[in-house]
A and B are shown apart, each in its own frame.
Chain A
Amino acid sequence: MRTRQYSAYLYIAPIMAFFLVFLLYPLLYTFRISLFEWNGIDKTMNYIGLANYRVMFNDPVFWQSMRNFVTFAVLVVGIQMILGFLLAYSMRRPLKIFTAYKTIIFVPVILTPIVVSYVFTNLLAYNGGLLNESLRTIGLDFLAAKWLGDPRIALFSIVAITVWAGTGFSMSVYVSSMTSLPNEVLEASRIDGASRRQTMVKVVWPMLRDTHFSLTIIGAISALKIFDIIYLLTRGGPVHATEMPSTYMFNSAFVTYEQGYASAVAGVMILFAMTITIFQLRLSRGSAN
C-alpha cells in the first residue's frame, strides 16, 4: 500500500483543468497584460514595461482606494468579530428564543448583494428614506444626512451595511467554536470568584484565539474581494470616497478600457491576497508546532 498511485492524477485531472484554465492562467496572464498599454479590444498590444505601475503609484486615486480598503477592512473585521462574539456568548444557553434570534441574524449572510444594495439605497435615501424620516419624526433633523452621498460619511455607511450582512457569519463561527470549549473551565473560573465580565474577557475570549485568527483572515480576504455591494451603492463615489481596489480596477478595465493599467491594479490585489495567504499558512503552522 505504500506504493505511489499514479492513477490519482486521473482523479484530480478535472479539477486541475478548471484550476489551470480559469484561475492560474488568468492569474499569470494578468501580470503579463500589466506590462502593456492595451484597451482589451485591439489586436495590437503596446509593450511599455513597468510604466503602468509607475503611473499607478503616482495616482492619488489608487492610494485613496488603498486607504479606503484598510479603513474598511479594519472596521468591518473588528466590529463583526466583537459583535459576533458578544451575540454568540450572550446566547450560549440553549433557549428556543435564542435559536430563533440566531436564525434571523444569519439571514443577511445568504442574501443576494443586489437585493441588499437596493434595500439600503431605499433605507438611506436623503428624502423619504426610512432612517432620515425617523430621525426627523423624533425631532433629530440635524442628524439626517446624505448617508451615501456625503464623502465624509459614505464609507462608514458601507461599513455598517457590510457589518449587517456579515455579523451572522462571525456569530455562527463563534457559536460553533464555543460549543467545543470545556464547560469545566467556565465553572471553575466562576467558582474562583471571577465576575461575569472577567469570565468573558479574560477566560473565554483568549481561549478562542484560533477563531479570532481565522475570522481576521477571512475578513481581510472578503474586504479585498468586495465589489458588487459598493459598485451598486456608490460606484466608488462620491469623489472616490468609497473607492476600493476592486471598483477602481473595474473602472479602468470596463469603463475607460485601460486594461493594461487595470491589470497592474489587479496585480497588486493578487499580491495582497498572496501575502495574506502566506501569512496565514506561516502563523497557523507556527501555532500547530
Chain B
Amino acid sequence: MLIRRIEWFRHLVLLAIVCAFCIPLYELLKTSFERHGIHNYYDALTRIDLGRNLLNSTVVTVCTIVLVLLVTMPAAFAFSKMRFPLRNALFLMILLALMIPGIAIAVPVVQIVRSFDWFNKYWALVFPYTAILAPFGLVLAKGFMDQLPKEMQEAGLVDGCSVFQSFLRIYLPLTQPIAMIVTIFTFLGSWNEFLFAMIFMRKEKMQMVTTIPIKFQVDFVTNMPGLFAALVIIQLPLIVLYVLFQKHFKEGLTAGAVKS
C-alpha cells in the first residue's frame, strides 16, 4: 500500500516538473500564433526576409561542419594510431581550447578577421567556428578511434596499404557513428552562436538567424507574435533534427562529461 502511494507521488511530482519545463516552450508556440494565427509565419518570412538569414546560417553551418570533419578526422587518426614526438603535449594544448571563452579572445579575433578583410563574409564566421568547435570533435573522434584495434592498421600494412590508405580505406569508414555525432554537435554550435555573428555580420543581407531578431526588435515591439513566429522558424531545423537523431544529440552533447 505504502509503496503504491510512493509510486503515485513520484509520478505526480515528475509530471509537475515536466509541465514546468514545458511552460516556456508553450509560451513560445502560443505567442507565435496570437492575433493573426499562421499568418504571422508568412509575415516573418516575407516582411523581414527571414529566408535570406536562414540561407546565411545554413551556408555557414554547412561549411563549418565540412571543415570540422576535414580537420578532425585525420588529426584524430594521428593522435590515436601514430607515434610522434610531442604527441601528448600537442593534444593537451588543443584541449585547452575547450576551456577558453570565445569572448575572451574576441578583440584579437576581430583584428584578424579585419586584416583578412572578411567582415560581412561567410569566412569571418566559418573559420573561427571551426577553430572553436574542432577541438571537441577531436576529443570525441580520438576517443572513438582509440577503441578500434591497431592490428587493423598492421594488417593493412602487410597487404601493402600505406598509412594514409589504411586511414582512408580501413579506419575512416568505421568512424561514421562518431562523425555523425561531431556533425550534430558542430551544427548546434554554429547555428546557435551569437557573439561573433553579431560582431562580424553587420550588413542586413549577411546577418545570421541569431542576430536578426535584435534588429527587428523595434519593428516588433508592436508585433510580438510576428517576432515569436520568427523565433519558432529559427528553432525549427534544430527541433526536426532533434526528433530524428535524438540519441546522437544526447551522446554528442554529453559524451565529454560521461567519458572523463
Binding site for B on A (CB under 8 A): 1-12, 14-16, 18-19, 21-27, 29-30, 33, 40, 87, 90-91, 98, 101, 103-116, 118-120, 122-123, 130, 164, 167, 169, 172-173, 176-177, 196, 210-211, 214-215, 218, 221, 224-225, 227-228, 231-232, 246, 249-250, 253-254, 259, 262-263, 266-267, 269-270, 273-274, 276-277, 281, 284
Closest Cβ of chain B to A98, distance in Å, is 8
> Would A123 and B23 be within 8 Å (CB), given that A40-B110, A177-B258 are in contact?
yes
Q: Which B residue sits closest to A277, measured CB to CB?
A: B99
* Interface of chain B residues 33 through 87 with chain A (CB within 8 A): 70-72, 74-75, 77-79, 82-85, 87
**What residue of chain A has the Cβ atom nearest to residue B129's Cβ?**
A22
- Complex Cα distance, B138 from A79, in Å, reads 30
Q: Which residues in chain B, 195-234, are within 8 Å of chain A measured between CB atoms?
A: 195, 199, 209-211, 213-214, 224, 227-228, 231, 234
Contact partners of A112 in chain B: CB under 8 A: 191-192, 209-210, 234-235, 238
How far, in Å, is A165 (CB) from chain B's closest CB?
A: 9
Complex alpha-carbon distance, A3 and B157, angstroms: 14
- Max chain A C-beta neighbours (<10 A), residue from B72, B104, B107: B104
B106 is an interface residue with CB less than 8 A from chain A: yes
Residue of B97, B131, B154 touching A1 (CB-CB under 8 A): B154
- A172 engages B253 (CB within 8 Å): yes
| A–B pairs, 14, beta carbons within 8 Å | A6-B84, A7-B164, A26-B109, A104-B21, A106-B249, A109-B253, A114-B234, A169-B253, A221-B98, A221-B99, A224-B101, A227-B102, A232-B214, A277-B96
Contact (Cβ within 8 A) B227 A118: yes
Interface string of B100-116 (1 = CB under 8 A from A): 11111111111110000
Q: Give the interface of B toward A (CB within 8 A).
A: 6, 10, 13-14, 17-18, 21-25, 27-28, 31, 70-72, 74-75, 77-79, 82-85, 87, 90, 92-112, 127-128, 130-132, 134-135, 138, 154, 163-164, 167, 188, 191-192, 194-195, 199, 209-211, 213-214, 224, 227-228, 231, 234-235, 238-239, 242, 246, 249-250, 253-254, 256-258, 260
- In the complex, the answer to whether B94 meets A26 with C-beta atoms within 8 Å is no
Nearest-CB distance from A15 to chain B (Å)?
4
Closest A residue to B21 by beta carbon equals A105
Q: How far is the CA of A109 from the CA of B199 in the complex (A)?
A: 24
Are A107 and B242 within 8 A (Cβ)?
yes
Q: CB distance B238 to A111 under 8 Å?
A: yes
B41: min CB distance to chain A, Å? 15
Are A14 and B74 neighbours in the complex by a CB distance under 8 Å? Answer: yes
B104 engages A169 (CB within 8 Å): no
Hey, which chain A residues are within 8 Å of B199, CB to CB?
254
Given A22-B109, A23-B105, A112-B235, check contact A273 B100 (CB 8 Å). Answer: yes
Check if B18 sits within 8 Å of A114, measured CB to CB.
Answer: no
Partner of B99, one of A90, A173, A276: A276
A128 to chain B, nearest CB (A): 10
- Please report the C-alpha to C-alpha distance between residue A262 and residue B249 in the assembled complex, in whole angstroms: 35
Residues in A neighbouring B98, C-beta threshold 8 A: 221
* Shortest Cβ distance from A105 into B: residue: B21
CB within 8 Å for A214 and B260 given contacts A2-B83, A120-B24, A269-B104: yes
The 3 closest A-B pairs by CB, nearest first: A22-B131, A11-B78, A26-B108
A169-B83 Cα distance, complex, nearest whole Å: 35
Chain A residue at smallest Cβ distance from B99: A273
Q: Which residues of B lie under 8 Å from residue A262 when comparing CB positions?
A: 107
- Is B163 a contact partner of A5 (Cβ separation < 8 A)? yes
How many A-B residue pairs have C-beta atoms within 8 angstroms? Tell me. 256
Collect the chain B residues with CB atoms within 8 Å of residue A4's CB.
Answer: 83-85
Smallest CB–CB gap between A70 and chain B, Å? 16
A21 touching B112 by the CB < 8 A rule?
Answer: yes
Q: Nearest Cβ in chain A — how far from B135, in angstroms?
A: 7
**A115, B236: Cα distance in complex, Å:** 11
CB of A154, distance to nearest CB on chain B (Å): 18
With the chains together, A5 CA to B157 CA distance in Å? Answer: 14
Query: With A30-B105, A262-B107, A273-B104 in contact, is A114–B84 under 8 Å at CB?
Result: no
List the B side residues contacting A270 at CB < 8 Å: 100-101, 104-105
Indicate if the CB atoms of B100 and A23 lie closer than 8 Å: yes
**Apart from A5-B163, A8-B82, A113-B210, 7 more pairs, CB < 8 Å:** A106-B249, A114-B210, A115-B28, A172-B253, A246-B101, A270-B104, A273-B99
- The CA of A16 and the CA of B256, in the complex, are separated in Å by 21
Cβ A250 vs Cβ B103 within 8 A: yes
Which residue of chain A lies nearest to B20 when distances are taken between CB atoms in the complex?
Answer: A164
C-alpha gap A104/B17 in the complex (Å): 11
Choose from B10, B71, B99, B195 the contact partner of A14 (Cβ within 8 Å): B71
Check A30/B107 contact, CB under 8 A, given A90-B14, A112-B238, A113-B194. Answer: yes
Tell me the smallest distance from the CB of A250 to a CB of chain B, in Å.
6
Cβ of A108: which chain B residues have Cβ within 8 Å of it?
21, 24-25
B83 to chain A, nearest CB (A): 6
